[in-house]
Each structure stands twice: as C-alpha cells, then as structure tokens.
Amino acid sequence: MKTLGTIYLVVTLLPALLFSQYASLKVQHPQRFTSYNGTIEEARLVVIPKGVYTQNDLYLTFSARGVNFSAKDSVEVILDFELPRDCAVNDLWLWIDEQTISHGLILDRWTATMIYENIVRRRRDPALLTKSSSSSQLSSLWELYQLRVYPMLGNGSRKVKISYLVPAQWTHTGVSSFIPAQIFRVSNYKPSFITVDYKQELGWGSPRIAENVLLQFSAVLDTSYGRLLRCRISSDNFSSFSQRLNLFAGSPMKNGIYLARRQQGNDGFYHLAVHPLRALELQTSKKVVFLFDYDSLKTSLQKTDILYNIRSHLESNYSAADSFNLIFTQHHNILSVGNKWFSADLYGIAQAFQLAGPSPIVNRSNLPELIKAGIDFLKQNDSTGVLCLVASSDRLGDYRTANPIITEILRSLPAGVQISVIDLLNRNFNSYFYNNKYYYGNDYFYEHLTKLTRGYWAGLRASSNTLPTMLTNFTHFTTGAVEAFDIYPRLENGLCYSRFTSGVDAAQSVSAQKPVTQVGKFRGSGSFIIDVVGIYKGVVRERRIVVPQSDIAQVDTFASKAWTGRYIASLENTSSPPNSIVSQIIEVSLKQRVLSRYTAFLALEPNDTIRTFAPPSGGPGGPTSVEEQANTASEEPLLQAYPNPFNAQTTIRIRLPRGVTSEQVRLQIYNSLGQVVRTFSPEGLSDRQITSIIWNGQNNEGRTVASGVYFFVFSSPKGVKSLKLMVIK
C-alpha cells in the first residue's frame, strides 16, 4: 500500500501540473511610472499534435481600454504568465502594423534586455519574451514567463504571437492539452470569446472541450494553417478561476504504444507513449458503481455537464474488460439503471445511458438511501466492486448526523469494498469546526467514510480540480500502480540515448492506467524494439514490443525542439549551475531557438531584424515568409543583418540587384564620423542567390571597434544602399 499511496499523491497533484496558477497583465507609462490593468481584445489558440507534445500558437491583441491614457501616450504592455516546466517556448512574433510582422530573434538575455531598454527610451518597436524560475510553491512544476511590448498608443493596440510546445496528457484513447485560460481571466475587459483551433493530423481523432458538452468544433479553411477545426468559447466559460478548460482529442495509440520520430541521416529524435497495462498485457478489470446526488444550489456544474463527463470518462478510460452501473437519487425514489453490471465497451456504455434517459440527474439529495442502494446492488452481484459517489449535497457535515450514518454504512458494506467520493460542492456551503479543524460541506462525512474504506476523495473547491481530472485520478487510484516500471527503446540496427521520461516517480512507480511518455535521441536504422518491465500486484512483468517502420509516425523539426526543452529544463534545475552549464544552456537555446532562463526572444522593427513577414492575401492568419522569394532576381539589392544590434558578431546577408556582377560592387563599413573601418571582398556575390558575410566587430587592422552605431554601405552602378548596425559591448 505504500507504493499505491505514493501513486495516489502523484495523481492527486497531477492537476496542478496541468493548470497554471498565476498571470498578470499591466499597461504602464515608462516615463510617468503609472500602471493599470490591461485588456486582451482578441485571443486565439491554435493547437497542433506534435508527437507526445502539442504545438500551441497563442495570438493575443492588447489594449489599454478603459484606463487613463490618451492617444499621445506611448505605454508598455507587461504580461506575466506561467507554463509547465517542460514546455519549450520556441517563437515570438510582433505585429508592427497590419502589413508587417516582425519575427523574434533569440539572444542571450543580458544583451536582449539591454537592447530592449535602450529601444524603449528611443520609442521604437520591440517585444521581449523572457523566462524565469517559478513563482509558486510547486517550483519544480512551473516556469514564469514575461512578455513586454513597447510602444502601444494609449488608445491603440498591439498584437503578438507566442509559440510553445507543451507535454500532452495521454490516456489509452485520447490526449488532452490545457487551454491557458488564466491568461484571459486577468484581462481588465474580458474578450467576448476566445478562438480555439485544432489542426487534425493523420491518425488523430476529433477534438472536444472536455469540460463542456455544448462547445462544438466546426471545419474552417485558414490561409496559413489549411483545414482547421474551430471552437469559439465565450468568456463565461473561463470567468471563474475554478473553471479549467482542456482540449481533448482521440489519440493514434495502438495496442498501448505510440511512436513518432524525426530522422536526418543516421540520427534523429523520437517521441514515445506507453500505456503500462496494455503494453505489459496485464489482465485487470474495474467494476464501479457511480452514485449521483445533486443539489443545484451547491455547485456551479450543470446536470448535463456531469452526465457528459461521466460518459466521456468511461469511453476514454474503460474497456470491455471493465463493468459499471449508474444509480441516481430521484424525486421520490432511487433509480438503478441496471440490475446487473454493464460492460464498459462502447455498446454497453451507450445502452446504460439510453436506459438512464436524457435527464436522470434531478435536483434532489438523499445520500443515505443512495449509498444503501449501491451497497444492495453489490450484494446482489458477487459483493465485489467499488462505489464512487458523485455529489454536490451539503446535509451530512455535522458529526452528530454523520457518525451514525457512517456506522450503519460500514455495518452493511461487503468486506474489501471501497467507497470513493468526487465532491462537486463549490458554493453556498456550511462550515464546521471540530477537533481544531475546519470542515466545509460534507467534508467530515466524506473524509471519515473514505479513510475507513480506503477510498479516494477529492473536491471541486480545490483550485486545481475539475470533474474530468478528479474522475481520471479516481480511476488511477482504483487501478493501482506498476512498480519498478521502465522503458528501454532501441533500434534494430542502432541505439537510443539521452532519454527523458514523464509520469514516473522517484521510486519508478507509475499509475497502471496512465500512459508514460518519453522523448530521446537515436542513431541507426530499422524497426524500433521496446522492452517494457514492471511489477504489478507483486508479479514481475516484462514484454518486448517490435514497432515496424510502417507504424512509426513522422514528426517535423518540433521533435528536436521538444527534446531541447526537456534538456534545457534538466540543466536549469541543477542546483546553482556553474558558468559552464549556463554557457551550455545558452548555446543550445540559441542553436535550437528554444527559450531558456538565460536567453530571450526579441522582436524589433523591420530594419533591425533578420526577417520581416507580411500576412498572405486573403486574411491575417499566420505569417508567410517573404524569404521564399529571396532567391529571385530583383532590381533592388537585399541587405539584412542578424543579429542587430550584436555583441560578438553579426551575419550580413546580401543579394545583388538584377544584372550587377560582384566585380562592380564595393562593400564597406563606416563609423558615425564617416570613416571607413572595414572593407569586404565582394567575391562570390550574385543576383540570383543570397550570400552571407560575417563581421566580427573588428576593423581592417584586426582591432575590435568600440560600441556604437556603424553603417554597412553597398555601392554598385545602380546606386548606394546602407544598413545601420549597432555594436554593443
């Protein structure tokens, strides 16, 4: 039971992993030091499956609506928010105007911050995105991020896009990805709705919002993403901090395994999800009687939401090997849908809910009789199974009322039967004080009943709990744990290495029902061979699974970014990392464009950034690169520098005007006094392709130039063009 208790603790804390707790949105005047709550005028989230992660593109439009700023004021937007520790933030975009979008550079944090502060003083157009350590007590679970945008007119708006990869939460039938509703809640004026788009990839199922049956997706055609499934969620669905939202979609897992890879030559990255029970071919079954007791004054959940979530949970987490029944408190009696167990396959689930009717949950509470009916059902059916009470009532909180009922329940309960409670009470509840402890609602009754029967208990009043997560945690608890669990993947002609595994605690114990995910590197070819081992109910289990290449999904470059995010997180959480580790983090972060605590994304105005993008004709969707046309001859020369401003070196990209040859060109760098400090050879330049020249900040004598403004001057028979460069030491 010690291991099971550990798994229970891990599963109970799991919702905190999924939902951020902190966000703040401010608009401030940098010169006057005045600050107000900001507003999100528009919000859109695009979710795309990427291996065991989901890629999330978050579009936000900010304003200072309703506060004391005028059209003459240039104000700064500051958004603080949290994401799970293993997220990989991989891009930033800033809208300069309706036609121009600036793509963020990634620089070391000190350089980026200094540039941003200098630009704010000069009133130009930057956006800065940084990552810090967690602001919450769950320091190992969350990372704090800050986005700063300047300037925004007091009566204007600014638009950004933040892209990040987040670890998906897997079941054997589906995958859920959290919607960052905490960001939208801090808006001074709530957006009327948020748009959630889902890019359905091959093998993946249709999406739904797990917490609300009424929210539907419909197909749309987007100019940037192609075909999407779209849902518009009104602000009512995220107005309460106790309301969590998850996008759930059917997964492509087969026989307990999902494997995806990204291969380049002989090397690559892989993503793996393993369902312990199914992968080890363990024979187990669940037998659960769900008991429903409802008081509409005591909960924010609607009856239809409760019924929908129970059915969805059964379809996603139960199989034909499992059994269930439904029993409801009615106005004048207790309704048991069946006298025998229903098989938990899709047919059995449909049959049970059809027999229950469209409205089996009524506004009536009678817990003692409801629990008695559940016990009677078990006695008539081999006295085995689990009772799970789903209730929002508030009448048994007084110990003088609760104790006699608990005694009577225990007297009639078959030996070994657990009673679990999912408490939906979250408003209009009474409080009690016994033995130096406060109890709320039926807490006293539930706590003692579940302790004495070794059951599970969770309540909706906890900020991290939702009905779907409590149902999932209950199922994990009743199924038990696989101890000493591990996964060993390799290739038929090669090996796997640098693995990062999620869902396994320090004692190598996992919930038997919850898939474990892993990302890693590989080298070699052929089929993947996966050895899975573990101990379930005291018996050692092992299995070798061969995944042929035809069953391996393909992932794009996001596979490496997801691994990089995990790698950076592992280095960042080293206690007091030395300079060598910090340098390693910066190097990997810059190379892979994945944000770290020591780097930052910086989006500048077009003349200062490597790429400027324009929305495609037909709509303001995601950016489309003009660099696709960069290798086409043009009358105008192409001049770009990245990074700019820079510290150590910058890359200057050049394409000659049409008809001009390299022999006709002169390339020089001038200082602010008009003096030539460096001359470059134009050899190899062409009007058909881009050529890169690196300037390391040194003059013609090999000495490093001083900090300041310099000009790269391009001279040809068709005129003179210049590019301003800033050296910051």
- Phi/psi at 182 (nearest 5 deg)? -60, -30
The answer for 436, left when phi > 0, alpha when psi is -120 to 50, beta otherwise, is left
Quote the pLDDT of residue 729.
Answer: 66
CA triple 606-612-616, angle to 5 deg: 135
Does pLDDT of 246 surpass 80? yes
% of the chain beyond a pLDDT of 90: 49
505-530 CB burial, b ≥16 within 10 A, e <16: eeebbbbbbbbbbbbbbbebeeebeb
Look at residues 607, 553, 597 and name the one whose alpha carbon lies nearest to residue 576: 597
Mean residue pLDDT across the chain: 85
Quote the pLDDT of residue 630.
Answer: 39
pLDDT digits (tens, 9 = 90+) for 480-490: 889 999 999 99
pLDDT digits (tens, 9 = 90+) for 617-664: 333 334 333 333 334 445 566 788 877 778 788 888 888 888 888 888
What mean pLDDT do residues 517-525 have? 95
Beta bridge partners of 713: 668, 722
Report the 3 state secondary structure along 449-498.
Answer: HHHHHCCCEEECCCCCCCHHHHHHHHHHHHHCEEEEEEEEEEEEEEEEEE
Distances (CA, A) of 242 to 10, 19, 530: 21, 11, 40
- Per-residue pLDDT band for 609 (boundaries 50, 70, 90) equals very low
- Phi/psi at 633 (nearest 5 deg)? -60, 140
Quote the pLDDT of residue 617.
Answer: 36
C-beta separation of 402 from 434 below 8 A: no
Q: Cα separation of 531 and 545, whole Å?
A: 6
Percent of the chain as helix, strand, coil, to the nearest 5? 25, 40, 35
Beta bridge partners of 644: none
Higher pLDDT, 220 or 510: 220
Of 48-62, 170-184, 459-473, which one has max mean pLDDT?
Answer: 48-62
Instruction: Write the CB contacts of 570 (distance below 8 Å, at least 6 apart in sequence).
Output: 500
Quote the pLDDT of residue 272.
Answer: 96
pLDDT digits (tens, 9 = 90+) for 423-433: 999 999 888 98
3-state secondary structure of 434: strand
Does pLDDT of 598 surpass 60? yes
Extract the tokens encoding 653.
Answer: 């990209």
Pairing of β 612-614 and β 287-293: unpaired
Amino acid at the residue 15: P
- Per-residue pLDDT band for 462 (boundaries 50, 70, 90) equals confident
What mean pLDDT do residues 108-133 have? 75
Give the torsion through C-alpha atoms of 168, 194, 92, 568, to 10 deg.
-20
Look up residue 662 and give its DSSP letter: G
Radius of gyration in angstroms for the set of CA atoms belonging to the chain, rounded to a whole number: 30
Q: Cα separation of 11 and 171, whole Å?
A: 13
Quote the pLDDT of residue 635.
Answer: 57
What mean pLDDT do residues 435-448 have? 92
How many residues can be counted in the chain? 729
Does pLDDT of 614 surpass 90? no
Quote the pLDDT of residue 626.
Answer: 31
- Per-residue pLDDT band for 436 (boundaries 50, 70, 90) equals confident
C-beta separation of 141 from 16 below 8 A: yes
Instruction: Write the CB contacts of 362 (distance below 8 Å, at least 6 apart in sequence).
Output: 294, 303, 328, 329, 330, 331
The answer for 409, left when phi > 0, alpha when psi is -120 to 50, beta otherwise, is alpha
Extract the tokens encoding 696.
Answer: 């390391």
Look at residues 347, 235, 333, 268 and name the one whose alpha carbon lies nearest to residue 559: 268
Higher pLDDT, 312 or 340: 340
Instruction: Write the CB contacts of 445 (distance below 8 Å, at least 6 apart in sequence).
Output: 396, 397, 402, 405, 406
Quote the pLDDT of residue 159.
Answer: 96
On the 0-12 / 13-18 / 19+ scale of CB atoms within 10 A, 210 is buried
- Per-residue pLDDT band for 16 (boundaries 50, 70, 90) equals very low
Pairing of β 599-603 and β 516-536: unpaired
End-to-end CA distance of the chain: 60
What mean pLDDT do residues 338-351 have? 94
pLDDT digits (tens, 9 = 90+) for 122-148: 555 689 999 986 544 444 578 899 999
CA triple 265-270-273, angle to 5 deg: 160
What mean pLDDT do residues 218-222 have? 96
Quote the pLDDT of residue 102.
Answer: 87
Task: Please say whether the dihedral angle defined by the alpha carbons of residues 654, 658, 663 and 665, taken in this order, is positive or negative.
Answer: negative
What mean pLDDT do residues 326-330 have? 96
Beta bridge partners of 137: none
C-beta separation of 515 from 503 below 8 A: yes
Beta bridge partners of 326: 290
pTM: 0.72
Quote the pLDDT of residue 474.
Answer: 93
- Per-residue pLDDT band for 506 (boundaries 50, 70, 90) equals low
What angle in degrees, to the nearest 10, is found between the helix axes of 467-479 and 303-317?
40
pLDDT digits (tens, 9 = 90+) for 386-413: 999 999 988 998 999 999 999 999 999 9
Distances (CA, A) of 562 to 47, 108, 155, 279, 635: 15, 20, 39, 24, 41
Q: Cα separation of 131 and 112, whole Å?
A: 13
% of the chain beyond a pLDDT of 70: 88
Quote the pLDDT of residue 304.
Answer: 87
- Per-residue pLDDT band for 13 (boundaries 50, 70, 90) equals very low
Q: Cα separation of 671 and 59, whole Å?
A: 40
Instruction: Write the CB contacts of 294 (distance below 8 Å, at least 6 apart in sequence).
Output: 303, 306, 329, 361, 362, 363, 364, 365, 391, 392, 393, 424
Give the ranges where 333-442 is alpha helix by DSSP (H).
Answer: 346-356, 367-380, 399-412
Extract the tokens encoding 605.
Answer: 């105005």
The answer for 143, left when phi > 0, alpha when psi is -120 to 50, beta otherwise, is beta
C-beta separation of 141 from 84 below 8 A: yes
On the 0-12 / 13-18 / 19+ scale of CB atoms within 10 A, 311 is middle
Instruction: Write the CB contacts of 361 (distance below 8 Å, at least 6 apart in sequence).
Output: 292, 294, 303, 306, 307, 328
Quote the pLDDT of residue 606.
Answer: 58
Q: Cα separation of 232 and 123, whole Å?
A: 36
Quote the pLDDT of residue 471.
Answer: 92
- Per-residue pLDDT band for 354 (boundaries 50, 70, 90) equals very high
Higher pLDDT, 96 or 61: 61
Quote the pLDDT of residue 19.
Answer: 43
What mean pLDDT do residues 359-364 have? 94
- Per-residue pLDDT band for 544 (boundaries 50, 70, 90) equals very high
3-state secondary structure of 626: helix
